[in-house]
Structure 1
Amino acid sequence: MRILFEDSPDYEMVLGDYLERIPISWSRDESFGLLKTRLVAEPETTRDLAEKVMDNREKGGELAGSLLSAIAETSEGQDWMFESLTSGNVRKEASALVMLLNLISSITEPNLDHNLRLLKANAQSVSEDNTHLLLWCLEEACEKERDIFVPLLEEVLRTRGVPAASVYLSRPSLHRERPVSALVLAVEILEEKGLDNGEISLGLIGIYPKNREFVLERLKRWISKGKFPDSHHGMLVAHLKKHDTSPIIALIEELIDSGNRNALYVAANCLEELTQSISEWLGWCEKWESDSNKEPAVIRSLLEILSRLKTYEASGDRIRAIELVQKFASRSNIDYEDSTKHISLGKYSHEGCANTRQENRYTLKRP
């Protein structure tokens, strides 16, 4: 296959569009392989094109870095990277950081130690505008030299404060084990400034498997204020459900028992979000039904559960839910049969109607 490669305005425009569509960490993009052979074969043209992309694109520094990563192992590439990293020019610095990122993340990089030393020596002098790239490089470096780069990553977070912590927590990571100590630090930095947002929630996802108590402490704080689960907790809730959620529900029980009204208010929603099925949700309702402190949460739960079980298929869950309703009705001196006798399916011809009547034999005695 012949790859078009030339130093011209039209080609620079097409190349820039292409670079904007692929990850800056091009080592994970298979389509870059064919182009790389030409970039390596003609380093001077590669450098000229990179400079034009850098000048003409909004994120030109990062795009140029992707392009120049192809020649990063050559003497020309190494010279560019060192000069740009110490140039004081934000765009050139960005290109050098992207080159470093690709070199450090490569599993075949022969000069890894040299590039890690280069990153370590210049990390603190990287401009604020390129903090996101610096953090990405440091996280990649943590995979190679954890003892050296985890402390450096944490120092960068402390020095740069909220902006760096926000970027670090919000950036999706391909790593299965991000440094938990760095995640904890980033969360604490945001908390110290009174921030309580989705970025903290994302950080807790990575912390939970290794430091459950830290996460439970935050959840308890949110629940006690009636702020969990909230709109920005969706990903956290989905992650928590992959684990045993009974410690979280135990927190809710503890808060309700201590008289926390906010916890009581959100309890039904918490049960809904943290249980794996309606059957499990009903299990907690059955456990709580004799506890007057938790009665409002159970009734709210039953209202939601029964609204979901408007089905014409036989349902053991619906029978369980209605039996709980009957218990509450009896406890409140409400005549359940009289209150429900107006419900009639006698004229309904749906093919599943018989199933509904079958269930009602256990719950309703119509006159």
Structure 2
Amino acid sequence: MQEFYAVTSLRCEADKDTDFEAWRNDKGFWGTLLKQNGEVDMKTIRLKHLTECKDWSRVDRVRLVYLCVICFLMAKDEKINIPHAYIRLVMDFDKLRKYSWGLHAYDLLLDSIKKARFKLKKNSYVLDGFSYALQIWLMEAIPDIGTLLGQKYTEGITSVRCQNWYGNGKVSYHDITALETSLGKKAVVFPFISDTGNNDVVASVAFGRDDEKKDERVDKIISLINAKFDWSKFVSQVEEDMRTQDQLHEKVDVAVESELEVSEKEEQVEPVAKRRVTRKAKDPGCESRKRQLLCQRAAEQNTGLDDRTKIFITELFNTSFNSMKEEVNKHMDHRYDKLDSEIAQLKQT
């Protein structure tokens, strides 16, 4: 949770004194929709309401903007109905700012990652929630991946890290595996990041959860990080994921599954694949950065030669250079002899 906060800086503390369910009907578009228990999704907003909102009141147009931002953080399929809880929040801007969006976005993303773990062998899968935060966390924790994907505006930024990156580098699965196999001792990996710095583990009560359980294994990992433990020789034990009873009955031929909880009267929509939009961002140096980084890491990986190999390579180079030197000397002597004979003939004539 602290790492998610370091990337997004979204509010993670819940305000227990605020009633987020209560709302006041101002008889505008959104108030009427809530009163009539209406339904709306992002596709309808994109195709219809964006052109019709010019006739709405200013406050309803601002609510539309806030709602689009919320749907970006809690990203789902555009045909899924927007929960009424989000619409009730945009009815009161003060409650909207007090809501623990970081906590809510973190939980949604974490649940989506857990579901995606069982789809890793498929050609593709979809992550719901603020998946951009997961990408930035990976780029910050493993700087080499950050070099492949983009560039930083400013070095040393530790808070709101998601706004410190730009670029649109294309990285294939082969590039990732090549980087993974070539990571040597000089590669930098941060096991923990926070808004105060890298490798800085802060046990803050602000990120505590009511249902949080104490885990001695986590405490041990934190103590090793604080002690600057050398993880290069550490072998992690991997446990096979146990599929739950619900996951065993999931259809394997469905490209994108979804078991999202919507409001009581909102029917679940059969999920579909999202549209692929091609955008060309200006990042002309991404390919050169990728080639330079992969070559550098591969060179570092192959520098660990034993003494016998070094002696063999040295003797091989010496033999080759000596042989070439002898050939060059013979060739030059032959040329000089030929040149002397030609000069002698010219003098006689």
Which bracket does the TM-score occupy, shorter chain normalised? under 0.3
Does 1 or 2 have the higher relative contact order (CA < 8 Å, sep 6+)? Answer: 2
TM-score under structure 1 length normalisation = 0.25
* The structure with more helix, counted as a fraction of residues: 1
Look at both structures and tell me which one has the larger radius of gyration over its CA atoms.
2
